[in-house]
Amino acid sequence: MDKYRIMTFDGGGIRGVLTATLLKRLKNEHEISEFINMTELFAGTSTGSIIALGLAYGLSPEDLVDLYVRYGKYIFTPRYLEYYRPKYDNKHLKQALSMIFPKDLRLSDLSHKVLIPSFRVSGSYSKPYWSPVFFNNLPGSTNMEELVIDVALASNAAPTYFPSYKSHVDGAVIANNPSTAAIAAARGEQGNIKALDDMYLLSIGTGIYPQQITADTTKWGAIDWSFYPKPPYPLLELLFNSDIGVNEFYSSQLLKEQYCRLNLEIPKKIGPIPLDAYSKTPTLISLANDLDLEMTIKWIKNSWF
């Protein structure tokens, strides 16, 4: 049996620094230090796409932590204050990406396989309607010649936060946790179909803060669902976060003990951390450094090697 190792990374904006810090800690464990290099497929959504593409290109977790620390404030500097415009220009995000990826780097150039969800809001010749897009460099891919920076911008184009990019919006609208999509893609790899028994998947989140709407939603219309303050923009929060637990359930049921989920609950005393809260970067790093990784390290030792 040839193991097929998959790592997936959730969306979450600046909270990606938590993911990168967890990876940094795992990589520094001597007995499993090569687990990233041994991974066949990296899948990531939104901020997770940057991590997945970065690792597939050969960046270290330290490089990725540095990206968030150095450029987080720069990326999330508001340009527009009007509700009818995106909150941020993607110019700063594109410039930050160009600091870590060559401008002409394509998916086909990467040394590992990747899967990056996005959503095309306009039609194309092959599909005259909106549809999900899974950028990848797996065998038979029709988009492996896409530029890495373009793919990252397409997967990070969170509605209301960033403008759409080449008619694509954030992959979080379909798969903020891309683990099930990664299993499906690996399962259907053309000419080399992978059996579920061969797959091992490590799924890493960006921290979760338990949310609920305590108000009576019985009579809510478009305005309340869009702008109610607790949690802010509840419809958008539901859109981005409701699938995370769903995909965790699907993946765990498909792979059983060959699936491992690594995430943490953000304490109530800290409160929710929005995807653009760059001032919380030190807090996110501290949370990641304090998390007990014993069970995850044990799982990697037993499953990856």
The CATH number that applies at residue 58 is 3.40.1090.10
Nearest to 206 by CA among 263, 155, 289, 271: 263
Instruction: Assess whether 167 carries a catalytic annotation.
Output: no
Count up the domains in the chain and report the number. 1
Query: How confident is residue 193, by pLDDT bands cut at 50, 70 and 90?
Result: low
Q: Which of 10, 46, 203, 276 is catalytic?
A: 46
Res 226 pLDDT > 50: yes
Q: What is the rounded CA–CA span in Å between residue 183 and residue 199? A: 8
What is the average pLDDT value for the chain, to the nearest integer?
91
Domain ranges, residue 145: 4-211+244-304
222 occurs within a structural domain = no
Interacting residues of 182 by C-beta distance below 8 A, sequence separation 6+: 6, 8, 41, 43, 115, 201
44 occurs within a structural domain = yes
Q: Which of 10, 170, 243, 276 is catalytic?
A: 170
Instruction: Assess whether 226 carries a catalytic annotation.
Output: no
Token representation of residue 69: 């620390």
232 occurs within a structural domain = no
Q: What is the rounded CA–CA span in Å between residue 121 and residue 157? A: 12
CB 163 within 8 A of CB 277: no
227 occurs within a structural domain = no
221 occurs within a structural domain = no
Query: How confident is residue 1, by pLDDT bands cut at 50, 70 and 90?
Result: low
Please list the alpha-helical segments (H only) found in 99-232. 148-155, 172-175, 179-187, 222-227
250 occurs within a structural domain = yes
Give 32 or 78, the one with higher predicted confidence.
32
219 occurs within a structural domain = no
pLDDT digits (tens, 9 = 90+) for 180-190: 999 999 987 65
217 occurs within a structural domain = no
